[in-house]
Amino acid sequence: MRNIKCSFIVTFLLISRLLIAQSSEIEDPYIWLEEVESKKSLEWVKTQNKISEKRITSNPLFEPLKEKLLNTFNDKDKIAYPSIVGDYVYNFWTDEKNERGLLRRMLFKDYVNHKNDWETILDFDELSKKEKKQWVYEGVSWLKPDNKLCLITLSNGGKDESEIREFDIETRSFVQDGFVLGESKGGASWIDRDHLLVYRNFGKESLTESGYPRQAKIWKRGTPIEEAKMIYETDKNRIGVFGQNFYRNGKKITIILNAKTFYEYEAYYLQNNKLKKIDIPSDSNIYGFFKTEAIIDLQSDWNINGKVFNKGSLVSFDLNQALEGKFDVKTIYKPNKTSSFTSTSISKDFIIVNTMNNVKNVLYKYKFENNSWAGKEIEAPKLGSISLGSSSMGENNRYFFTFSNFITPTTLYFANNDDIKIFKKNKDNFNTYGLVVNQYMATSKDGTSIPYFIVHKKDIILNSKNPTLIYAYGGFNSASRPSYNTSRGIGWIEQGGVYVLANIRGGGEFGPDWHQAALKEKRQNAYDDFYAVSEDLIKKGITSPKHLGVYGWSNGGLMAGVVFTQRPELYNAVVVGAPLLDMKRYSKLLAGASWVAEYGNPDIPEEWEYIKKYSPYHNILEDKKYPEVLFVTSTKDDRVHPGHARKMAAKMMNMGHPFLYHETVEGGHGGASTNEQSADMLATIYTYLHLKLSENQNN
Report how far residue 151's alpha carbon sits from residue 195's, in angstroms, rounded to the nearest whole number. Answer: 12
Q: Active site residue: 669, 673, 678, 694, which one? A: 669
Instruction: Say if residues 437 and 430 touch (Cβ distance below 8 Å).
Output: no
**195 catalytic residue (yes or no):** no
Please report how many Cα atoms fall inside a 13 Å half-sphere around the Cα of residue 159, on the Cβ side. 20
CB neighbours of residue 653 within 10 Å: 15
Report how far residue 455's alpha carbon sits from residue 682's, in angstroms, rounded to the nearest whole number. Answer: 19
Of 545, 544, 583, residue with least CA distance to 561: 583
Report how far residue 180's alpha carbon sits from residue 694's, in angstroms, rounded to the nearest whole number. Answer: 52
Report how far residue 266's alpha carbon sits from residue 260's, in angstroms, rounded to the nearest whole number. Answer: 7
Q: Active site residue: 480, 487, 554, 673, which one? A: 554
Report how far residue 379's alpha carbon sits from residue 372's, in angstroms, rounded to the nearest whole number. Answer: 23
Report how far residue 391's alpha carbon sits from residue 246's, in angstroms, rounded to the nearest whole number. Answer: 13
Q: Which letter does DSSP use for residue 595 in this model? A: G
Report how far residue 661's alpha carbon sits from residue 675's, in angstroms, rounded to the nearest whole number. Answer: 21
Long-range contacts of 53-59 (CB under 8 A, 24+ apart): 53/662, 53/684, 55/660, 56/660, 56/662, 56/684, 56/687, 56/688, 56/691, 57/684, 59/687, 59/690, 59/691, 59/697
Helix (H) or strand (E) holding 512: helix 512-516
Helices (H), 333-482: none
Q: Work out the angle at residue 117's Cα, subtended by the Cα atoms of residues 113 and 118, and round it to the nearest 5 degrees.
A: 120
For 388-408, letters b (16+ CB in 10 Å) and e give bbbbbbbbebbbbbbbbbbbb
Residue type, 322: A
Torsion of CA 27, 29, 34, 38, to 10 degrees: 130
Pairing state between β 468-471 and 498-502: parallel
Helix (H) or strand (E) holding 436: strand 435-443
Pairing state between β 435-443 and 468-471: unpaired
User: Taking the alpha carbons of 523, 474, 525, 27 in that order, is the dihedral positive or negative?
Assistant: negative
Of 344, 402, 400, residue with least CA distance to 108: 400
Q: Is 46 exposed, middle or buried (0-12, 13-18, 19+ CB in 10 A)?
A: exposed
Residue 622 to residues 19, 27, 652, 654, 661, Cα–Cα distance (Å): 19, 18, 8, 9, 19
Q: How far is CA 18 from the centre of its chain?
A: 40
Q: Which residues are within 8 A (CB) of 331 and not within 5 positions of it... i.e. 6 or more apart?
A: 309, 313, 314, 315, 373
Q: Which residues are within 8 A (CB) of 152 and not within 5 positions of it... i.e. 6 or more apart?
A: 103, 122, 137, 139, 140, 164, 165, 166, 167, 174
Instruction: Say if residues 644 and 633 touch (Cβ distance below 8 Å).
Output: yes
Listing DSSP states for 12-64 in one string gives HHHHHHHHHHHHHHH--TTGGGGSTT-HHHHHHHHHHHHHHHHHHHTSTTHHH
Of 192, 184, 198, 203, residue with least CA distance to 145: 192
CB neighbours of residue 646 within 10 Å: 26
**534 catalytic residue (yes or no):** no
Pairing state between β 435-443 and 449-457: antiparallel
Known catalytic residues?
Answer: 554, 669
